[in-house]
Structure 1
Amino acid sequence: MQINIFYIQKNTEFEILDQKYLKLISKFATIKEYNLFNKKIANAQNLNNPELAKKSYEEVFNPHKKGFNIALDERGKELTSLEFAKIIKDKFELSFFIGGAYGLRDEFTKKLDFSLSLSKLTLVHHFAKTLLLEQIYRAFCINSNHPYHK
C-alpha cells in the first residue's frame, strides 16, 4: 500500500513523534509526506484572507489527488479507531490532505472520497498530522491483529 500525506505547515514541532510513527508504519506500507507550503500560501495567510488562503491550498493539493482521497476536516465524520481501520483496509493507495491555518473549502472536500474529523476540538496542524500518523499505525495494527491497539 502507498500512503501519501499532503499538508501545509510552516514548522514541525512534533518531528520526533512523526518520525517514530513513520518508521512503524513503514513495516506495513510505503508512506510519504509532502509539505506543500509555499510563498503564495504564505502571502494569502498574511493577508488574513481565508478564501484566498483556502484556494491557494487547493491549487497545490489538486494535482496530488490519487487513490482513495481523505480530507482532514473539522466538519468531517468522526470515527472510532476500528471504523478508521476498516476504511483504510484493502486500499491500494491512500492520500490524506491536511489544510493550512484556514482549513479546507467544502468545494474541495466534497470532491474527495471521504472527509475525516480527528476531533470536534480545533487542533494545531502539526498535532493533527502526528495524531493522523498514530491512527494510521493503529489501524494497521488492528487490521493485522497486532497487540498495539489493546
Structure 2
Amino acid sequence: MLNIRIICVGKLKEPYWRQACAEYEKRLHAFCSFSICEISESRLQDNPSNAQIAAALQTEGEKILSAAGNSFLFALCIEGRVLSSEQLAEKIDHLAVNGNSTISFLIGSSFGLSEELKKKADFKLSMSPMTFPHQLARVMVCEQIYRAFQINSHGKYHK
C-alpha cells in the first residue's frame, strides 16, 4: 500500500482546520496509508532579521528531511509548478507504479521552506501564484490528495 505523508511545520491551532484534515485523513485510509507529521516551528522574535529567518528555515528543513526519510518529496512553494488535479493524480499514480512506496508533501512555516530543502525536493509544487496561510494549505493538500485517489479510481467525487 502506498504511504502518503504530509510533513509540515507547526500545529493546527483552530479546531475547524483539524476537523477538515481529520475528515480527509479518514477518507484517504481507503486508498493509502496516510499520516501527518508536525515539526515544531522555530521560535522567532518579532521582526526577525533575514539571517534569523534563514537559520530557522535551516533548522526546520533538517527536521523535515529527517522525518521524510527515503521518500519522494513534493516541496510546496510558490515558485513550484502548478498542476491540475488530474495532473497530480497522474503524477501520484506514476510514482506508485514505478516503485515509490512513500510520497511526502512538505509544507513550511509562514516563512516557507529553506532553499536547501527546495533543492533536495524531487518536485516543487505550487498550489497557486497566490499566497495562502500554511494551515489552509494543509487542508488543501489533504483535499487534493483525496481528489487524486478519487480520479485514479474513477470515483464520483471529482466531476
> TM over 0.5, yes or no?
yes
Aligned to 1:82: 86
Q: CA deviation at 1:116?
A: 0.5
1:16 to 15, 19, 38: 19
Distance (whole Å) between structure 1 residues aligned to residue 154 and residue 11 of structure 2: 36
1:53·1:102 contact (CA, 8 Å) conserved in 2?
no
2:12·2:18 contact (CA, 8 Å) conserved in 1?
no
Aligned to 1:128: 137
**Aligned length, in residue pairs:** 146
Q: For 1:100, what is the secondary structure of its paired residue?
A: coil
Distance (whole Å) between structure 2 residues aligned to residue 12 and residue 92 of structure 1: 31
Q: TM-score scaled by structure 1?
A: 0.91
Unaligned 5+ runs, structure 2: none
Tell me the alpha carbon deviations over residues 42-96 of structure 1, each in whole angstroms, 9 at most, x when there is no partner: 2xx3262321121121121121232211111111110000000011112421011
Aligned to 2:45: 46
Q: TM-score scaled by structure 2?
A: 0.86
Matched, 1:64 2:75: no
Aligned to 2:123: 114
Q: CA deviation at 1:9?
A: 1.6
Distance (whole Å) between structure 2 residues aligned to residue 75 and residue 50 of structure 1: 19
